[in-house]
Amino acid sequence: MPPEPHRDEHTSASRWFSPGLVQSDEIVLRTVLDPDHLEPNGNLAAAAISLEDIRFRGWSVDRKRFTCLWRVRFFHSGWKKRRPNIRRFYVLPLPVGVIRQPDPATGQQQFVVTDAAKWLNPAHAHVLLSASQGEGAARGYRTKLLQRLPPYVDVATAFTPVDKHGCVRGMLKQFGAIVVAAADYVRRRLGLGT
Amino acid sequence: MSYTDIHFLNTVTPGFVRFDASPAGGRLIFSDQTPYAIYVSVPANQAFAGSPAKELFDRLTELKSKYSTAWLPYSRPPNEGAFQNARDFVLTLPLNRIAKPAIHVASDGEVNFQWSGPDFQIDLGFYGNGKFSFYATKTGCAPVIGDEVPVKQGIPQPLVDFASAV
């Protein structure tokens, strides 16, 4: 069994690089590959969301607030080189509030969205099941999540002109987080308290 | 137009051996403890060459060749066992009663079977350990969940009922 992942939305999984916790009014973006992730009729396939991701590893998304069009396209061009038979790239613009919606039947939150910033990718976040689940149950949550997802869109239409500074905003926030975390670390090493 | 003959080979396991020719309405089950492999060669004809079972086998072959290596960062291709489990499972499907599933590969190495109907959803998959798990839901019915179901048991009856057109 893989190690228990970070499922706490109130703390960052990556304090040193974090631009801040993921807010419910944010949009996160997930890349969709045509044809790998699509049914012949164009619907999103269940396999577009791997069970291991939502159960253990975290389903990777990018926070739109801290990324920008050129950066997403840069990643896509890298994937295209690696896998030339990808026909087209789309993105799912996912409202975090929708992912966090509780199950109407149980009132329990099914999915969490956690900050999982990486060095030079402050926008990185994870979507995970809110608690450990078996494989069959996880399939059920995946099915319900798929029903709540908005339609995928062309990458360019996911961004507006006001989003063009997202990368810079993210990098500045990350730089600030590194300075704060480093200062905190030094304080603790010197026994000065937090 | 010429067609290629279709050859079946059973898995040599104690229990039953099942050959399915759903489009022709035919099915043959041997209940035997045979230590021998059984080959069945079916002369090709247009009806059989276009069978749903063959299309599913072709799809699995296509996916196996397409996803032989990791295709994305942190992805893992399905192992041979996952494809073999999927092929064995296809032989248990009553394709004269239910529609073909869509088959995809997930980035964690799953071979996934998905049925989507106007009032039902079935999500079922294999990781190559001889077992499968599933989730099935239909309007007006309680969802059905299964974990660690041996592939040789075949598709559970509630799933056939959900996906059945009749």
CB < 8 Å to A34, chain B: none
Tens digit of pLDDT for each residue in A63-95?
A: 999 999 999 999 999 999 988 889 999 999 999
Q: Computed from CA positions of residues B116, A39, A124, A173, in that sequence, does the dihedral angle turn out positive or negative?
A: negative
Residue B8: per-residue pLDDT: 56
The whole model's pTM is what? 0.82
Q: Which amino acid is at A75?
A: F
> Mean pLDDT in chain B?
82
**Sign of the dihedral defined by the CA atoms of residues B129, B124, A40, A73, in that order:** negative
Tell me the nearest-neighbour CA distance from A50 into chain B, angstroms: 5
- The predicted pLDDT at position B68 comes to 87
Domain ranges of chain A: 15-189
Q: Where are the alpha helices (DSSP H) in B39-139?
A: 46-49, 52-66, 80-90
Q: Give A150-188 pLDDT, tens digit per residue.
A: 999 999 999 998 888 999 999 999 999 999 989 998 998
Tell me if chain A has a CB within 8 Å of the CB of B66. Answer: yes
| H/E segment holding residue A186 | helix A166-189
pLDDT digits (tens, 9 = 90+) for A8-60: 999 999 888 999 999 999 999 999 999 999 998 899 999 999 999 999 999 99
Confidence (pLDDT) at A162: 86
Top residue of B133, B148, B159 to mutate, by most chain A CBs within 10 Å, is B133
Task: Show the DSSP H helices in chain B as ranges.
Answer: 46-49, 52-66, 80-90, 157-163
Contacts of A143 in chain B (CB under 8 A): 121, 123, 135, 137
- Identify the pLDDT of residue A95: 97
Element spanning B35, H or E: none
Residues lower than pLDDT 70 in chain B = 1-50, 165-166
Residue from the list B116, B123, B143 with its beta carbon closest to the beta carbon of A142: B123
pLDDT at B51: 84
Query: Is A143 in contact with B145 (Cβ distance < 8 A)?
Result: no
Query: Other CB atoms closer than 10 Å to residue A71's CB: what's the count?
Result: 17
Distance from CA of A163 to the nearest CA of B (A): 26
* Binding-face residues of A in 116-175 toward B, CB within 8 A: 134-137, 139-140, 142-143
Q: Do B135 and A49 touch (CB under 8 A)?
A: no
Report, in this order, helix, strand and coil percent for chain A, each rounded to 5.
40, 20, 40
pLDDT of residue B33: 54
- Residue A193 confidence (pLDDT): 65
Q: What is the pLDDT of residues B13-48, one digit of tens each?
A: 445 555 555 444 455 555 555 556 666 666 655 555
Going A145 to A151 to A157 to A162, the CA torsion angle's sign is negative
* In chain B, where the domains are located: 51-163
Q: What is the pLDDT of residue B28?
A: 55
Contact B135/A at CB under 8 A:
yes
> How far is CA B165 from its chain centroid?
18
**CB of B79 less than 8 A from some CB of A:** no
Kindly give the residue spans of alpha helices, DSSP state H, lying in A33-104: 51-52, 69-82, 96-99
At residue B12, the pLDDT reads 46
DSSP state of A21: P
Question: DSSP E strands: which ranges in chain A?
Answer: 27-34, 59-63, 88-95, 111-115, 124-129, 153-154
C-alpha–C-alpha distance, residues B96 and A69, integer Å = 48
Would an 8 Å CB–CB cutoff place A106 in contact with chain B? no
**pLDDT score of B74:** 82
Cα–Cα distance, B29 to B91 (Å, whole number): 11
pLDDT digits (tens, 9 = 90+) for A119-153: 989 999 999 999 999 999 999 999 999 999 999 99
> Which chain B residue has its CA at the smallest distance from A79's CA?
B72
Nearest CA-CA distance, residue B113 and chain A, Å = 9
Other beta carbons within 10 Å of A70: 10
